[in-house]
Chain A
Amino acid sequence: MNQEQQLKLQAFLDGELPEREAREILAWTQRDGEAASLLAELKGTRQAMAKAELRLSVPTTREFFWSKIEREIQRLEPQATIAPDVSFSAALRRFLLPASALAALVIAGLVVHFHATPVAPVDTAGNDTPAVETTLASADATTYRDTSAGTTLVWFSDDTPAKAVKPTAIN
């Protein structure tokens, strides 16, 4: 019997052969005494090992067992991340950088605050209505605004009769 035949017998015993090949091996073991004795020996060895195998069981439930492992990992994690030693110059630099930026910001704010010119009152009307003053008491001023074109017309006139020709014209 060669090694391949021995392996076939082992596979037959393990139930790994197709049905047709298993039938052939079974017939072969019935015909051949050497094959039959090897098969019996393999069966005996298998039974002996099955009895000798230790069955280990966890005394607690699976979830509880893994939760204990998880807790232990969490307990050990802070110890694993040890803070690196920071030199004095690095710590000073870390402090000075934002502090200097903050100081510059404050200085810039103070400069802007004290050098800014008083802001003119905001035109709450949100428009560009002109303020017109006439020099003479007898004078008058007419204002026309074309908002879409961004044009303002201010027409100064005195009390003399108007010389307008065009009825809609203000001049």
Chain B
Amino acid sequence: MKSFTTTRLVCAALFFLLLAGVTAHAAEADLKLEAQLILCSNDPQPQGRPVAPEIEKKLKRLPLKWQHYSVVSVQQFSVAKDESKPLVLGGSEIAVKNLGRERVELTLVGHGKITQSLRKGQTLVTNSNDESSLIVLRQVN
């Protein structure tokens, strides 16, 4: 009886350890990201491709001078941990590095770099070389 209980205890501990390992491994999996170049203006852009409603809502909450946003280009990509992905969005060169634990390092060539956690639902917005456009980075659902 005693050995049976010990066995169950050890097996349960082993199970949870393996589960923790799998979870940790999942946390270190590739980050699937989406970078968007957003054109900003104060006039409606009926010809432009509208931004996703959740992004537009977030942009309108920011202290920006523009009222209207449209998508110029979208790039979806995966970045392995400790890997960096260079991208060109419009006239801006950027690089996104996966630092692990859902943290990214966004480098805007010529401007600087931002280190930020980017969990699902979080959005990182920065300006591009073009003064009337934004770069939006987020995780893909």
Which residues does A use to contact B, with CB under 8 Å?
94-95, 97-98, 101-102, 104-105, 108-109, 112, 116-117, 120, 123, 128, 130-136, 139, 141, 144, 146, 149-156, 163-166, 168-171
Please, which residues of chain B bring their CB within 8 A of the CB of A155? 126-127
Contact (Cβ within 8 A) B65 A131 = no
- Report which of A98, A112, A144 forms a contact with B17, defined as CB distance below 8 A: A112
**Interchain Cβ contacts within 8 Å, total number:** 126
B47 close to chain A: CB less than 8 A: no
The A contact surface, by secondary structure, is mixed
30 example contacts (A-B, Cβ-Cβ < 8 A) are as follows A95-B3, A97-B7, A98-B6, A108-B17, A109-B17, A128-B117, A128-B122, A130-B124, A131-B116, A132-B113, A132-B114, A135-B111, A136-B110, A136-B111, A141-B112, A144-B63, A146-B58, A146-B61, A150-B58, A150-B123, A151-B58, A151-B122, A151-B124, A152-B123, A154-B114, A155-B126, A156-B111, A164-B65, A166-B63, A170-B64
Given the interface pairs A94-B3, A105-B14, the reply to whether A139 lies near B28 with Cβ below 8 Å is no
Please, which residues of chain A bring their CB within 8 A of the CB of B74? none
B86 close to chain A: CB less than 8 A: no
- Report which of B18, B109, B110, B121 forms a contact with A108, defined as CB distance below 8 A: B18
Of all A-B residue pairs in the complex, the 9 with the closest CB atoms, nearest first, are: A166-B65, A169-B65, A134-B112, A130-B116, A156-B111, A101-B10, A131-B115, A150-B122, A151-B58
- Report which of A112, A131, A139, A151 forms a contact with B111, defined as CB distance below 8 A: A139
Instruction: For residue A60, give the distance in angstroms from its CB to the closest CB of chain B.
Output: 40
Kindly supply a per-residue 1/0 record for chain B positions 11-23, scoring 1 wherever the CB is within 8 Å of any chain A CB and 0 otherwise.
1011001101100
* Nearest-CB residue, chain A, relative to B55: A151
Contact (Cβ within 8 A) A151 B100 = no
